Chain A
């Protein structure tokens, strides 16, 4: 901490010193970072902070969730739609370990959150005291940074550093563990925002030689392809990205976390890549002569078999995290840095171009996909509803303006494939970790991060029951989220794999479900169950126009499969349509 200390003592002499408790210092630190809402659950080792939250309740809104996992997922949802740091707070021991799944999720999906955990008094550390857990040790591999505060006077500079680290460079989760004595003890409080840590350099100067090499390759390319990821969204580079796409005329495809950075109906938006991505983008990945990867990390669900992935193409990688460069895919040109800085440098130097024949290839493949997959899902001949037609009907009524929060599984793939987006930061899903139970609490945070927007959580019947208790939070805190359960009475994605790869041995994937409408009613949340096609439009309309939270259960076909599909570890161009 030496580095910050030195700079603080110089800058900060004008501010009056306040003699306050560590607990109050924590609350004042959050306020100094502009935090207005935090999500959490009280308990013994964090009680001094809760006592201060009580006193500061008109300045800092605390949302009481029903489980610590709900709190941290809500913080994630808040961060994903607002671009600001989400904050979750919990007690020691089980309170802290209940945050772990969310922290791992935020780490792999680069979500800026700060988690605060209480800890037993410093004199009890290592004694197996009541509710003592080594949360620093447990969270080390899944945090961008973590720190245990044992003295009250450490609080302001550690909090300042935590917020700086969480949101700078490639964002990620930070955990601060505060021993109980540090919350009780008094200290002299002044707060100075952190502007740098000497061992950590998140800002990278763009290498202009690399830019001109990239420009050269782009100008020469005959069949270039842009693959963009969440880096565009995290870098707030949507405008710069759109300008690059439009001037270059290059067809662009997205990873699941990149979704919504470019509007769905943009003429050069060609759809999703990866395991359940679109047909054309997967096949043409292996036909392009230049692949421009923007803020994405070549995840295995995107690349399939690395030995056959885009081998024919030159690859340019715009990436902020050096450890992602050449990690999975060897690339020809690396442009390190924030794509908000690098994209305009490329755009200004490239020739404006169009690739009508190449773009037509995507359209032709889309037509094949439409005829074989999409048409059947949107306009099924059988009576049973499909997930896809539900999303299609939702699109028709939201016009693509809603924030869509999805859980994990078939419904997630279907929603991401078909949901329309007109605005960025509107797709919230658990991508890298695939955390079932993510959507319901994340949707709460999303609604609070974007209160003026319609937030629709689309969840499977399995994942819904993993964090179902958050209906209590939605009711108590009056969070106006709309929830659609796509209920097929199965853990659908696992069932699909069992059907395709395990000879239909449906081991432990069928769910005998409760009455979801009755459960919602128990929480005083308006609710309806739909089983017939002719009722669906009206039910969605009622849901969207309802003032407050609403749960719509849509009973869908039990054994639908998600296609296209690149089987795990297979070549992307061997994508199957059935």
Chain B
């Protein structure tokens, strides 16, 4: 069956070892994780993992149930790309001389709407947030100018529709306030 890209959003308690527990579920089934990021969510002390995987539509629901079954996991959702707003960030470190000596580089920066984060005598750092193909194009464009370092973040994503998690989390917040 044809695989599709899914963004899996996992809401969890903030506990040591949970990352291991979630990644083990993919490992056990020999599934490669394309991208993984985690941060605190809209509710204090509740974390949101954003995991991107390619998977057959028939399997995605099964694996998210396995994740949701974990005691410290509150709720799991999965979405296709068209159902989410998603972005990635990338940082590019280049030697400073190209910035001043190559007009082309200045044009690339301008056209890509990348932002200069810092400039020093030896190097400068660009930041670009966008879709994968945008950061990827910028990387290709800059490669020939001696890219010193390149790093891209995992996908971060919010859904277009309201997630029922908000209600669950709201209940937690109220309990806490009582």
Which chain A residues lie closer than 8 Å to B28 at the CB level?
141
Shortest Cβ distance from B171 into A: residue: A198
Q: Are A199 and B12 in contact (CB under 8 A)?
A: yes
Which chain A residues lie closer than 8 Å to B176 at the CB level?
2, 6
Shortest Cβ distance from A144 into B: residue: B71
Smallest beta-carbon distance B148→chain A, Å: 32
Instruction: Report the interface size for chain B: residues with CB under 8 A from the other chain.
Output: 24
Smallest beta-carbon distance B35→chain A, Å: 22
Q: Are A323 and B45 in contact (CB under 8 A)?
A: no
Shortest Cβ distance from B176 into A: residue: A6
> Can you show 20 pairs from A to B with CB atoms below 8 A apart?
A2-B13, A2-B176, A136-B20, A137-B17, A140-B24, A141-B21, A141-B24, A145-B72, A146-B17, A147-B17, A148-B17, A197-B71, A198-B74, A199-B13, A199-B73, A200-B72, A322-B68, A323-B62, A323-B69, A326-B62
Instruction: Give Cα A141 to B18, complex, Å.
Output: 11
Instruction: Give Cα A137 to B72, complex, Å.
Output: 16
Majority DSSP secondary structure for residues of B touching A: helix
Q: Are B21 and A140 in contact (CB under 8 A)?
A: yes
Q: Are A199 and B69 in contact (CB under 8 A)?
A: no
B-contacting residues, A121-155, CB 8 Å? 136-137, 140-141, 144-148
Q: Contact mask B29-69 → A, CB, 8 Å, 1/0?
A: 00000000000000001000000000000000110011011
Say yes or no: is B131 at the interface (Cβ < 8 Å to chain A).
no
Which chain A residues lie closer than 8 Å to B150 at the CB level?
none
Query: Contacting B62 at CB < 8 Å: which of A165, A321, A327?
Result: A327
Which chain A residues lie closer than 8 Å to B45 at the CB level?
2
Which chain A residues lie closer than 8 Å to B25 at the CB level?
141
Say yes or no: is B172 at the interface (Cβ < 8 Å to chain A).
yes
Q: Are B74 and A199 in contact (CB under 8 A)?
A: yes
Instruction: Give Cα A200 to B45, complex, Å.
Output: 16
Say yes or no: is B16 at the interface (Cβ < 8 Å to chain A).
yes
5 tightest Cβ-Cβ pairs between the two chains A and B: A323-B65, A141-B24, A199-B74, A145-B71, A200-B71
Instruction: Give Cα A140 to B65, complex, Å.
Output: 17
Instruction: Give Cα A141 to B25, complex, Å.
Output: 7
Q: Are B74 and A323 in contact (CB under 8 A)?
A: no
Which chain B residues lie closer than 8 Å to A140 at the CB level?
17, 20-21, 24
Known: A146-B17, A199-B12. A323 touches B24 (CB 8 A): no
Which chain A residues lie closer than 8 Å to B21 at the CB level?
140-141
Interface centre among A137, A141, A323, A325 (most CB of B within 10 A): A323
Q: Are A321 and B69 in contact (CB under 8 A)?
A: yes
Instruction: Give Cα A42 to B175, complex, Å.
Output: 42
Smallest beta-carbon distance B96→chain A, Å: 40
Q: Contact mask A301-344 → B, CB, 8 Å, 1/0?
A: 00000000000000000000111011100000000000000000
Instruction: Give Cα A325 to B74, complex, Å.
Output: 19
A-contacting residues, B66-110, CB 8 Å? 66, 68-69, 71-74
Smallest beta-carbon distance B121→chain A, Å: 40
Residues of B within 8 A of A (CB): 12-13, 16-17, 20-21, 24-25, 27-28, 45, 61-62, 65-66, 68-69, 71-74, 172, 175-176
Smallest beta-carbon distance B172→chain A, Å: 6
Smallest beta-carbon distance A447→chain B, Å: 32
Smallest beta-carbon distance A465→chain B, Å: 31
Instruction: Give Cα A145 to B68, complex, Å.
Output: 13
Shortest Cβ distance from A200 into B: residue: B71
Smallest beta-carbon distance A337→chain B, Å: 15
Q: Are A199 and B16 in contact (CB under 8 A)?
A: no
Instruction: Give Cα A322 to B67, complex, Å.
Output: 11
Instruction: Give Cα A199 to B13, complex, Å.
Output: 7
Shortest Cβ distance from B11 into A: residue: A199
Q: Are A199 and B20 in contact (CB under 8 A)?
A: no
Shortest Cβ distance from A325 into B: residue: B65
Q: Are B68 and A323 in contact (CB under 8 A)?
A: yes
Smallest beta-carbon distance A403→chain B, Å: 31
Shortest Cβ distance from A202 into B: residue: B71
Instruction: Give Cα A326 to B66, complex, Å.
Output: 12
Q: Are A198 and B62 in contact (CB under 8 A)?
A: no
Interface centre among B13, B25, B175 (most CB of A within 10 A): B13
Instruction: Give Cα A575 to B69, complex, Å.
Output: 35
Q: Are A199 and B62 in contact (CB under 8 A)?
A: no
Shortest Cβ distance from B66 into A: residue: A323
Which chain A residues lie closer than 8 Å to B175 at the CB level?
6, 198
Q: Are A199 and B65 in contact (CB under 8 A)?
A: no
Which chain A residues lie closer than 8 Å to B12 at the CB level?
199
Shortest Cβ distance from B13 into A: residue: A199
Which chain B residues lie closer than 8 Å to A323 at the CB level?
62, 65-66, 68-69
Smallest beta-carbon distance A195→chain B, Å: 14
Which chain B residues lie closer than 8 Å to A2 at the CB level?
13, 45, 176
Shortest Cβ distance from B21 into A: residue: A140
Q: Contact mask A326-365 → B, CB, 8 Å, 1/0?
A: 1100000000000000000000000000000000000000
Which chain B residues lie closer than 8 Å to A197 at the CB level?
71
Shortest Cβ distance from A10 into B: residue: B178
Which chain B residues lie closer than 8 Å to A321 at the CB level?
69
Given contacts A136-B20, A137-B17, A323-B65, 6 further A-B contacts (CB under 8 A): A2-B176, A141-B21, A144-B71, A199-B72, A323-B69, A325-B65
Instruction: Give Cα A148 to B17, complex, Å.
Output: 9
B-contacting residues, A1-31, CB 8 Å? 2, 6
Which chain A residues lie closer than 8 Å to B73 at the CB level?
199
Q: Are B69 and A165 in contact (CB under 8 A)?
A: no
Instruction: Give Cα A2 to B72, complex, Å.
Output: 12
Interface centre among A137, A146, A200, A321 (most CB of B within 10 A): A200
Smallest beta-carbon distance B128→chain A, Å: 36
Which chain B residues lie closer than 8 Å to A137 at the CB level?
17, 20
Instruction: Give Cα A322 to B172, complex, Å.
Output: 23
Known: A136-B17, A140-B20. A322 touches B72 (CB 8 A): no
Instruction: Give Cα A323 to B64, complex, Å.
Output: 8
Which chain B residues lie closer than 8 Å to A198 at the CB level?
74, 172, 175
